[in-house]
Structure 1
Amino acid sequence: MQSWLDGNLADLITKHGVPAASVAVLADGEVSTAAAGILNLDTGVEATVDSVFQIGSITKLWTTTLILQLVADGKVDLDRPVRDYLPEFKLADEEAAAVITPRQLLTHTSGFSGDAFTPTSRGDDAVELFVRDVLPGLAQEVPPGAGFSYNNSGFVVLGRIAEVLFGKPFHQLIRERIAVPLGLEHVATIADEALLYRAALGHVAPKPGAPLQTAPVWSLVHAMAPAGSLLAMSARDLLTFGRSYLDATLFDRATIEGLWEPQVDVPATGGFAERWGVGWMIFDVEGGPLYGHDGGTVGQSAFFRLVPEKGVAVVLLTNGGSTGPLYDELVGHILRETAGVELPARPVPPTEPVDIAPELVTGRYTGVLAQATISVQDGEFWVLDEAVSDEARLLYPEPHRTRFVALDDTRLIAAEPEHGTHEVLAFREAVDGRATYLFRGGRLTPRSY
């Protein structure tokens, strides 16, 4: 595998317009690593295998690890109310706040608004202030336990539980309770620490088809650290974290297998997990299943996969461009060769027209970050995406209009690929022929008209 990575990584990132990538693979007990490209297009700094990239929402597995350490110590029961451990936990819906459990937070089934990227502080009190000042204003979009809707805010709550019960700030817990015991050498738990390493910067296109530019910020808000806004590391160190689960280093085998037990099904949109365990994504693939997580910040994308039955782990860290197709080609080859796993093809528009009721899908769906307005014009479906907060404009700087076609009677698919993939929208819980929710990017977004 080492020779294949050395001979192909540079060509693959060029093919997919990715400025830089770092890869680490564990197979047959051997570790292979490779890096290629430019970490920052403005400075020209080259990537090395020790470079640190943000891992985004893969951080959620580290937060899950902290919570499971508390479970192992007898300090947390996943099925007791969050308020047993965090009495100050409040939401706009008091009844929901009183019954939501840590398990529902870990499985994204708590149902409250999950993308409140609201700045609080850049200090050790960032998570505490989020729970105190931001959570009480978050709406309940889905009843607790009613279904899967990806929730970053819920993992901030989990991070705060860890802070309170361990008595230290989240970033210190990540280092002291995970990074140090595993002997990790290139980990930045906060932005200041990233300066100690050769750090990647994200790259974004100001509008579809435009050349990549360096991202306007290195990280998202500090309060979202337990959900994935700050943690950065080398591909090898993330691989070592994965190996600790394959080898049962941090927990016993029964605990780990419990984390990988399916907890909730996820609507099919392609390129996303079909089921969710306790914190972990579960991918049902030929030769699988795969376990892991994906991560995305401002212009950086990360992919992390384990095949426990084969003792295989794969990490891909990137800083912009068409990262989905790069994952498909590069990680797809690695998994095929090392574990006999075949990644499924991503959805594409049907060759023959498919009927879908316009009244099911048209309307506006509004979340805390963005709103999508779906209309029909001259027999075609159009989606207008607009940011609704200053924080969201870092991710979506300009309104974006996209043409969609019917994939089946409950889903639309983008007519043209963006960054090499066709986005799929699913519509859920129709009432009087109109969908109550848009499922997109893992989130259930309620209809606002």
Structure 2
Amino acid sequence: MLQGLLDQTAARYDVPGAAIAVGHGDELLEAATGVLNRDTGVAATPDSVYQIGSVTKVWTAALVLQLVDDGLIGLDDPVRRHLPEFAVVDAHASETVTVRQLLLHTGGFDGDLFTDTGRGDDALDRFLAHLGGHAQQVTAPGTLYSYCNAGYSVLGALVARLRGGTWESVLRERLIEPLGARHMALFAEEAVLFRASAGHMHAGNTVARPWQMARSQAPAGATTCAAPRDLVRLGQMLLAGGRTQAGERLLSAEAVAAMTSPQLTLPGPAVRGGGRRGLGPELFAWDGEAAYGHDGLTIGQFTMWRVVPAHRLVVAIHANGGAAPGFLDAVLDAVVQRWTGLTVPPRPTPPAGPYAPVPSAYAGRYEYPMARYDVGVSGDGLEVTTTPLGFAAEWDEPVTTHRYVPLDGATFVGTEPVDGRHPMLTFLQDGRYVYGGRVARRIP
């Protein structure tokens, strides 16, 4: 079933290569399709490694919860208590941002600062120094969720400092090796020892260059590579209450509960049964049953990781280009239905009109480090021009204009799908901010 599903869905969404691992109870099923690199033609295999992007954040969160388990930190401690050089531009936020807020993406400062501070072991220390002069405060700490890569880099620096190593050495010692994860790489020189996937970009699926992002963002997801089977191992450890298959305890039951129970509600409507977060993963409800997981994106590489506790199901899916977001949704839906009988709710689509009048207050320009939105009211909808900034501009992402129509309250949905999904924007505080995963503030 898995092989046919991957083959057919990858062809439908023009995905060059993909792999999946399904852990169901004590059973592991795997499949792969296509090629890892369209320039070389190397075939994808189940043990090939892909960049897992922000799924790394779950691993970093687990390292932080280990610090809590060991009594080295408290979740509500100010970060600066343990990492004195932590600072953002706002002095008050620098003093008060907590470990919990970084885990929940509520620190309130700019999160998409992908500054390359070198490949040395001091990369995170140098990134901390950079934040102090560049991470502007968007909202007060603890007030609004806004996805924050920079916050997880800070957490990685915290882990490294308190464990007396690098983030990579601590991750390998305290999670990768105890889990028996044999197909994981944290550096390019490790990845070349495996069949490693290349990302593919835009129409024609050209091979992405550069292959990897900066080490300064490693704890947030810039560098980690894994075969899907090793992401299944992580999920199985959480299902076992923090123990490995060999019985070694890596996390307390309390830490696992904190990671996998609701700690925060996201802005806007729940999507795909989601809308809440634990300390690390996003949380879902499918037909009334709990699930959790995380998605990952690097330069042309995509990962989806999901766990359904009541069915002892862990799913890890990789793709390396094409309309990968739609591909991941389609594969997940089929797998969850097949092994649990549950239905993953579909993503929102534009409702049929007529639509309610659009408040003129929403018109304006909004910005965060990765994009600028120019929003205009047009009849009963919005015309939104998105201009890539910063690292997104370096990826050669195009300027786009899309029409959005009202969906639910202050949330609007794009009338045309992008890579198999209709984008959404939610206006907050009467148009002071707009949220599309990150909070963008209105600018003059």
TM-score per shorter chain, which class?
A: over 0.9
Aligned amino acid, residue 438 of structure 1: V
State the SS of the aligned residue for 1:109.
coil
Q: CA deviation at 1:136?
A: 3.3
Determine if the alignment matches structure 1 residue 438 to structure 2 residue 396: no
State the SS of the aligned residue for 1:24.
strand
State the SS of the aligned residue for 1:290.
strand
Partner Cα distance (2:217, 2:193) in 1: 22
Partner Cα distance (1:402, 1:216) in 2: 27
Q: CA deviation at 1:271?
A: 4.6
Deviates more, 1:256-265 or 1:18-27: 256-265
State the SS of the aligned residue for 1:284.
strand
Q: Is the 8 A contact 2:433 2:440 kept in 1?
A: yes
Aligned amino acid, residue 342 of structure 1: T
Q: CA deviation at 1:301?
A: 0.9
Match of 1:402 in 2: 402
Determine if the alignment matches structure 1 residue 216 to structure 2 residue 209: yes
Match of 1:231 in 2: 224
Deviates more, 1:100-109 or 1:257-266: 257-266
State the SS of the aligned residue for 1:342.
coil
Match of 2:246 in 1: none
1:276-302 deviation per Cα after TM superposition (whole angstroms, max 9, x unaligned): 111111012214221111111111110
State the SS of the aligned residue for 1:25.
strand
Aligned amino acid, residue 259 of structure 1: M
Q: CA deviation at 1:377?
A: 4.8
Q: CA deviation at 1:211?
A: 2.4
Q: Is the 8 A contact 1:52 1:194 kept in 2?
A: yes
Partner Cα distance (2:308, 2:408) in 1: 32
Partner Cα distance (1:75, 1:252) in 2: 14
Q: Is the 8 A contact 2:260 2:292 kept in 1?
A: yes
Structure 1 residues 114 and 131, CA gap change in structure 2 (3 angstroms): same
Partner Cα distance (2:440, 2:372) in 1: 9
Partner Cα distance (1:223, 1:385) in 2: 27
Return the TM-score normalized by structure 2.
Answer: 0.95
Q: Is the 8 A contact 2:358 2:380 kept in 1?
A: no
Partner Cα distance (1:8, 1:397) in 2: 30
Q: Is the 8 A contact 1:270 1:424 kept in 2?
A: no
Q: Which runs of 5+ in 1 are unaligned?
A: none
Determine if the alignment matches structure 1 residue 386 to structure 2 residue 383: no
Q: Is the 8 A contact 1:243 1:313 kept in 2?
A: yes
State the SS of the aligned residue for 1:256.
helix
Match of 2:442 in 1: 447
Match of 2:370 in 1: 369
Aligned amino acid, residue 385 of structure 1: T
Match of 1:131 in 2: 128
Q: CA deviation at 1:396?
A: 4.6
Partner Cα distance (2:63, 2:331) in 1: 31
Matches of residues 125-274 of structure 1 in structure 2 within 5 Å? 125-205=122-202, 210-247=203-240, 248-249=242-243, 250-267=250-267, 268=269, 270-271=271-272, 273-274=274-275
Matches of residues 1-20 of structure 1 in structure 2 within 5 Å? 4-20=1-17
1:211-240 deviation per Cα after TM superposition (whole angstroms, max 9, x unaligned): 221112112222000100000010011111
State the SS of the aligned residue for 1:46.
coil
Structure 1 residues 269 and 394, CA gap change in structure 2 (3 angstroms): farther
1:285-328 deviation per Cα after TM superposition (whole angstroms, max 9, x unaligned): 21422111111111111000111122111110111122232222
1:102-144 deviation per Cα after TM superposition (whole angstroms, max 9, x unaligned): 0000011111111111111122111110001234321110111
Q: Is the 8 A contact 2:36 2:198 kept in 1?
A: yes
State the SS of the aligned residue for 2:18.
strand
Q: Is the 8 A contact 2:89 2:131 kept in 1?
A: no
Match of 2:285 in 1: 284
Partner Cα distance (1:397, 1:252) in 2: 42
Determine if the alignment matches structure 1 residue 325 to structure 2 residue 326: yes
Deviates more, 1:211-220 or 1:228-237: 211-220
State the SS of the aligned residue for 1:224.
helix
Q: Which runs of 5+ in 2 are unaligned?
A: 244-249
Determine if the alignment matches structure 1 residue 62 to structure 2 residue 59: yes
Return the TM-score normalized by structure 1.
Answer: 0.94
State the SS of the aligned residue for 1:364.
strand
1:42-85 deviation per Cα after TM superposition (whole angstroms, max 9, x unaligned): 11111001100011000001111111111111111111111110
State the SS of the aligned residue for 2:144.
coil
Match of 1:414 in 2: 414
Match of 1:295 in 2: 296
Aligned amino acid, residue 256 of structure 2: I
State the SS of the aligned residue for 1:240.
helix
Partner Cα distance (2:77, 2:49) in 1: 37
